[in-house]
Amino acid sequence: MANTAKKTSKLSTFTSANHPVRRMRRFREMMIELVLFLAAASSVLVTVGIVWILVSESLPFFQTVSLVEFLTETQWTPLFAEPKYGILPLVCGTLLTTFVALLVAIPLGTISATFLSEYTNSTVREIVKPVLELLAAVPTVVYGYFALIFVTPLLQKIIPDLSGFNVLSAGLVIGIMIIPYISSLAEDAMRSVPGYLREGSFAMGASRFQTSFRVVIPAAFSGITSAYILGISRAIGETMVVAIAAGMQPNFTLNPLQPAETITAYIVQVSMGDLPHGSIGYQSIYVAGLTLLVMTLMFNVIGYYLKKKYRESY
Amino acid sequence: MVEVNPNLQLRAEVKNLSFSYSTEKKVLNSVSMPIYDTKVTALIGPSGCGKTTLLRCFNRMHDLYKVKEYQGEITLYPEQMNILSKDIDPIEVRMRIGMVFQKPNPFPKTIFENVVYGLRVRGVKKTSFIQERCEKALQQAGLWDEVKDRLNSSAQMLSGGQQQRLCIARALATEPEVLLLDEPTSALDPISTAHVEELIIELKKDVTIVIVTHNLHQAARVSDYTAFMYLGDLIEYGPTTKIFTNPADKRTESYITGRFG
């Protein structure tokens, strides 16, 4: 009893700023703050480090190859005897695969999100959603062989002059691969649209379809945009499927029936060889990586502005 | 049992309506009452008495959720169709019976698109007609002068009271036969509330109104007929003046004098 009273009195006493108890407390707070700061700073530092390395390793490349050549030359053959350094074929291949993938993933992802969010009850959703998300758990190398060994021969029955390695089948399979990313995020966005907006629409005599497409999707547009941006980033960064099924031939073409090479596939191809450190081929990996970073950054910025522009308060 | 006044035109009639959300507990217990044409009928009663549940039967809102059985009828005049019948599509019911909710719920669209939403949903294409209806509905809702210069700005920019009047305009644009108001002023400040109440009195010239309200003064001010409900039962129904000055039932009297509820 006496002990408790003593403790209480000690706790409630005001101590001077330099009292050891207060100094200790300040020190502890400072340490905690420092640890939290370091944890938060680590991801920023890693990002800065990656950008720094990409830029510093790319700079020597641009001393040999002019930026104009890099951006306008239509061939990419850094390892040939007469090397050409035009990034366009790789950018083209990347954008084309991404485009084909999005053509599959955006409609299917949005529709499955709408179905899951607006049309099903919780029982069906609890079964369908995990199955759909399983698509994301399949290793990408499996998708690659799926594209090469199953999808391409299937497509060749419809399009006879389709080459064995082509953008179309790689793009389609990447599209299927990113459906769960899009549908899952888009569904979350749609489900967070408050029920009173839906009721307002139904009360006006709208059908479920009209309510979904005229009220819920516009209201969830900002979240759905994030889902699309994530899908785009995944498609641009996808490596294994294109490396296996798209042919690793840097063609400057917009024809998805042709083989092509994406930036990521080039990096894989070249990294596996034994390039001497500091050679121009070695530097070209960094340049390709930097280009990829700039591209994804661009899409993220566009997405950020779309999100801001269409953010709805409800 | 509620007597139907033969001198008045009926717009709807509730007949022995029972309803429950889950199997055990009945939320409405054999409610019967008339809804007279171009009159305001107020539903009053303490929380949980079933007044909102009753209101939401009129436009089959309960059908949106795991469906419960409606027992009894709501007959819509003049063709005397039972709107609770399984053969009737709830969408058709909602096309004829508009609703305004407790919380203003404008869609994340422009003011114009909010008002004409019902017309768009009905597939109306003619632009001149749509614009005409939009102006008329906004005028009826007393909002036209405030928003006519910014029809294309977002409805979310409006104040709470304006948003609620926008929701009323949205419901009016399709010229409903009955307008259901579910505590339409409970989220509004006194000035906006007065606005909406004036509007209700103005509107009853053209449309039949059923209003749920917690505010007894409001019921007394705006309604012609009042139904007092308690624990799922309709305790008393009659002309508002009678209910508020000379109620027949002890419970009604206790409620309107503020002894419970």
Which of A176-180, A265-269, B111-115 shows the lowest per-residue confidence on average (mean pLDDT)? A265-269
pLDDT at B259: 78
pLDDT at A6 over 60: no
pLDDT band, residue B67 (cuts 50/70/90)? low
Residue A5 located in a structural domain:
no
In the prediction, which pLDDT does A235 show?
Answer: 92
Q: What is the overall mean pLDDT for chain B?
A: 90
What mean pLDDT do residues A203-232 have?
92
Q: How far is A255 from chain B (nearest CA, A)?
A: 40
Q: Based on the fold, state whether residues A144 and A52 are members of the same structural domain.
A: no
Containing structural domain, residue A20: 15-56
Query: Do residue B121 and residue A205 have CB atoms under 8 angstroms apart?
Result: yes
Contact A201, A215 (CB under 8 A): yes
Q: What is the mean pLDDT of residues A8-16?
A: 60
Same domain, A182 and A306: yes
Q: Angle at which helices A280-310 and A263-272 pack, to 10 degrees?
A: 150
Residue of A nearest to B113 (CA): A214
Whether residue A4 is predicted with pLDDT greater than 70 in this model: the reply is no
Find the mean pLDDT for residues B47-57: 91
Residues 82-101 of B with CB under 8 A from A: 91-92, 94-95, 98-99, 101
Instruction: Provide the pLDDT confidence category of residue A102 given band limits of 50, 70 and 90.
Output: very high
Q: Among A197, A202, A312, whose Cβ lies nearest the Cβ of B64? A: A202
Q: How far is B255 from chain A (nearest CA, A)?
A: 30
Picking from A223, A268, A254, the residue whose alpha carbon sits closest to that of residue A94 is: A254
Query: For A246-299, how does the pLDDT look when each residue is reduced to its tens digit (9 = 90+)?
Result: 888 888 888 888 888 899 998 888 887 777 777 888 888 899 999 999 999 998
Contact A207 B91 (CB under 8 A): yes
What was the pLDDT predicted at A5? 47
Q: What is the pLDDT of residue B1?
A: 54
Q: Are B206 and B38 spatial neighbours (Cβ–Cβ below 8 Å)?
A: yes
Same domain, A42 and A167: no
Smallest Cβ–Cβ distance between A204 and the set B64, B94, B156 belongs to B94
Q: Are residues A46 and A193 in the same domain?
A: no
Number of Cβ pairs < 8 A linking chain A and chain B: 69
Nearest CA in chain A to B56: A203
Which residues in chain A touch residue B95, judged by CB atoms under 8 angstroms apart? 205
- Tell me how close the Cα of B16 comes to any Cα of chain A, in angstroms: 24
Do A93 and A229 lie in a common domain? yes
CB contacts of B99 in chain A (<8 Å) are 203
Pairing between β-strand B208-212 and β-strand B28-36 as defined by DSSP bridges: unpaired
- Asked whether residue A74 is assigned to any structural domain, the reply reads no
Lowest mean pLDDT among A81-85, B143-147, B202-206: A81-85
- CA distance linking residue B83 with residue B70, whole number of Å: 10
| One domain, residues A120 and A196 | yes
What was the pLDDT predicted at A258?
Answer: 86
pLDDT band at A312 (very low <50, low <70, confident <90, very high): low
Q: Tens digit of pLDDT for each residue in B1-21? A: 567 787 888 899 999 999 988
> Which tens digit of pLDDT belongs to each residue from A149-159?
999 999 999 98
A314 vs B contacts (CB less than 8 Å): 108, 156
- Range B159-166 average pLDDT: 92
Cβ <8 Å between A201 and B99: no
* B117–A218 C-beta distance less than 8 A: no
Q: What is the mean pLDDT of residues B44-52?
A: 90
Q: What is the pLDDT of residue A293?
A: 92
- Environment class of residue B29 by beta-carbon count within 10 Å: exposed (0-12), middle (13-18) or buried (19+)? middle
Q: Does B105 touch chain A (CB under 8 A)?
A: yes
- Would you say residue B133 has pLDDT above 50? yes
pLDDT of residue B113: 94
Say if A155 falls within a structural domain.
yes
- Asked if residue A173 and residue A34 are part of one domain, the reply reads no
Report if residue A36 sits inside a domain.
Answer: yes
What's the Rg (C-alpha) of chain B?
18
The distance of B253 to chain A (nearest Cα, Å) reads 34
> Closest by alpha carbon to B216, among B205, B198, B233, B228?
B228
Which of A118, A199, A204 is best to mutate for the B interface (most B CBs within 10 A)?
A: A204
Degrees to nearest 5, angle at CA A283 with A281 and A285: 80
Of the candidates B197, B178, B240, B186, which has an alpha carbon nearest to the alpha carbon of residue B42? B240
Structural domain total, chain A: 2
- B122 and A202 within 8 Å at the Cβ level: the answer is no
pLDDT tier at A12, thresholds 50, 70, 90: low
Q: What is the pLDDT of residue A141?
A: 92
Q: pLDDT tens-digit profile of B224-243? A: 999 999 988 999 999 999 99
Domain match, A206 and A292 both: yes
Percent of chain A with pLDDT over 90: 50
Q: What does the pLDDT average to over A66-79?
A: 85
* CATH assignment of the domain containing A304: 1.10.3720.10
- DSSP for A269-285 reads HHHHS-PPTTSHHHHHH
Residue of A205, A218, A313 with shortest CB distance to B118: A205
CB atoms within 10 A of CB A119: 12
Q: Given this model, what pLDDT does residue B188 score?
A: 85
Chain A contact present for B118, CB below 8 A: yes
Bond before B78 cis per omega within 30 degrees = yes
pLDDT at A269: 85
Query: E strand or H helix at A208, and its extent?
Result: helix A208-210
- Give residue ranges of A with CB < 8 Å to any B CB: 121, 196-207, 210, 214-215, 218-219, 312-314
| Predicted local distance difference test score (pLDDT) of residue B98 | 94
Task: Please report residues of B whose CB lies closer than 8 A to that of A196.
Answer: 101, 103, 105
Rounded to whole angstroms, the Cα distance separating A118 from A127 reads 15
**Final residue of a structural domain among A5, A39, A56:** A56
Query: What was the pLDDT predicted at B223?
Result: 94
Assess whether A95 and A51 both reside in one domain. Answer: no
Which domains can be identified in chain B, with CATH numbers? Answer: 10-256 (3.40.50.300)
- Give the strands of the sheet with B233-239, arranged side by side: B97-100, B178-182, B208-212, B40-44, B225-230, B233-239
| B110 vs A: CB within 8 A | no
Three-class secondary structure of residue A252 per DSSP: coil
Considering the domain boundaries, does residue A280 fall inside one?
A: yes
pLDDT-derived band of residue A314, with 50, 70 and 90 as boundaries? low
Residue appearing with tokens 């749920």: B212
The C-alpha of B123 sits at a distance from chain A's nearest C-alpha, in angstroms, of 10
Q: Is A229 found in the same domain as A186?
A: yes
Distance from CA of B211 to the nearest CA of A (A): 15
Pick B108's closest partner by Cβ from A205, A206, A312.
A312
Instruction: Kindly state whether B143 is in contact with chain A, defined as any CB-CB distance less than 8 angstroms.
Output: no
Q: Decide if A71 is inside a domain.
A: no
Question: And the tokens for A284?
Answer: 């070209």
The per-residue pLDDT for range A164-175, each reduced to its tens digit, is 899 999 999 999
Which B residues in the span 170-189 are in contact with A, Cβ-Cβ below 8 Å? 170-171, 174
Residue A175 resides in a domain = yes
Q: Which of A56, A73, A107 is a domain's end point?
A: A56
Is A73 among the domain residues? no
Contact state of B117 with A312 under an 8 Å Cβ cutoff: no
Asked if pLDDT for residue A28 goes beyond 50, the answer is yes
CB pair distance less than 8 Å for A314 and B108: yes
Q: What average pLDDT is seen over chain A?
A: 88
